Structure 1
Amino acid sequence: MRETPEELTALQALLDASLAGSTSHLRSIIAPDRTLTAEQLTTILTGMRTLALSTVTVKGEPRISGVDGHFLHGRWYFGTARTAAKARHLTARPAASVAHMRGEELGVFTHGTAETLNPAGGEPDAEWPELLAYFKDLYGEEAFDWDNDVVFFRLRPHWMTVYAPDFAKLTAD
């Protein structure tokens, strides 16, 4: 867990507002006893988590693919090859959605705006040095040409909800 108290407060506000503004159908599934608090969520989402990432083509067609996701500071971070179609999609049309699911025990669904952390030939995001150190520690210093081969994104969420019917089961695994 890398979240500050302020980040946890902001994440909890986002979770509460997202669920409150959802349809009655979704609220019938993600009831108060079948969701997590921000603090519980950040204890569960440590390390690399596989995400289903949804982007949009220039023709407005949806595309979904998998990425390594990292939940840090109350947000999702993920990378891909600079030459990947999803990198082009996110650069041109940054609206994106991600889902992380673990069977029927956990579902984290997020909609937001993808922000490039290390643009090719551009000024890196202020968070990039900290995140680069984290990624190099996780994947290895020599895993990639970090400047030229990979691009990383932060998904700035405007909506996020969590389905988790049994927190004790999640922490026991």
Structure 2
Amino acid sequence: MADVHGTQADLGRLQRLLDESYAGSGAHLRSITTPDRRLDAAQVSERLTAIQVMALATVTAGESLAVTVHGTAAQIDTSAGEVRDFLVECYGDDWADWAGSAQYARIDAKRVFTFGVPK
């Protein structure tokens, strides 16, 4: 988990969520996200190593990676110490100067589905 802000406990929670999500999915989704195409928590952590753009609706034709999250979005206060420190680490000390009125959010995940094209 190099360069990732998470713990083994975080990976364990993500793995349980991934497993529960897949167990509750329907036949169509399972026909697409076959076991050889599903990513486990460690693989998701390895591939998503930085801040990611949140797309509220998208298609994935031609993509080699998809992580679909169902849940509730909550706006993040970027002036909060821990969040601000993380953004400075990712973007540099002047991030607030060029970020302007950019909005940041997190998703409180209820279900997560992954898809990765085998290498």
TM normalised by structure 2 equals 0.80
- Give the aligned residue type for 1:143: W
State the 4+ residue runs in structure 1 displaced beyond 4 angstroms.
99-102
Summarize the Cα distance change of 1:12–1:23 in structure 2 as closer, same or farther, 3 Å threshold: same
Aligned length: 115
- Give the aligned residue type for 1:27: R
State the match for 2:72 in structure 1: 113
Summarize the Cα distance change of 1:131–1:48 in structure 2 as closer, same or farther, 3 Å threshold: same
Contact 2:73 2:105 in 1 (8 A): yes
State the match for 2:34 in structure 1: 31
> C-alpha offsets along residues 73-129 of structure 1, whole Å, 9 cap, x if unaligned?
xxxxxxxxxxxxxxxxxxxxxxxxxx695943111101111122218xxxx7xxx42
Structure with larger RCO (C-alpha < 8 A, sep 6+): 2
> C-alpha offsets along residues 52-81 of structure 1, whole Å, 9 cap, x if unaligned?
125xxxxxxxxxxxxxxxxxxxxxxxxxxx
| 2:93 matches 1:134 | no
Return the alpha-carbon distance in structure 1 between the equivalents of residues 35 and 45 of structure 2. 18
Summarize the Cα distance change of 1:8–1:32 in structure 2 as closer, same or farther, 3 Å threshold: same
Can you give the 5+ residue segments of structure 1 that lack an aligned partner in the other structure?
Answer: 55-98
Contact 1:100 1:107 in 2 (8 A): no
TM normalised by structure 1 equals 0.57
More strand per residue: 1 or 2?
Answer: 1
Summarize the Cα distance change of 1:165–1:39 in structure 2 as closer, same or farther, 3 Å threshold: same
Contact 2:77 2:83 in 1 (8 A): no
State the shift of 1:164 in Å.
0.9
Q: 2:19 aligns with which of 16, 21, 25?
A: 16
Summarize the Cα distance change of 1:48–1:102 in structure 2 as closer, same or farther, 3 Å threshold: farther
State the match for 1:53 in structure 2: 56
Contact 2:70 2:109 in 1 (8 A): yes
- Give the aligned residue type for 1:107: A
- Spell out the pairing of 1:70-109 with structure 2 (5 A cutoff): 103-109=62-68
State the match for 2:106 in structure 1: 154
State the shift of 1:8 in Å.
0.7
1:2 aligned counterpart, secondary structure = coil
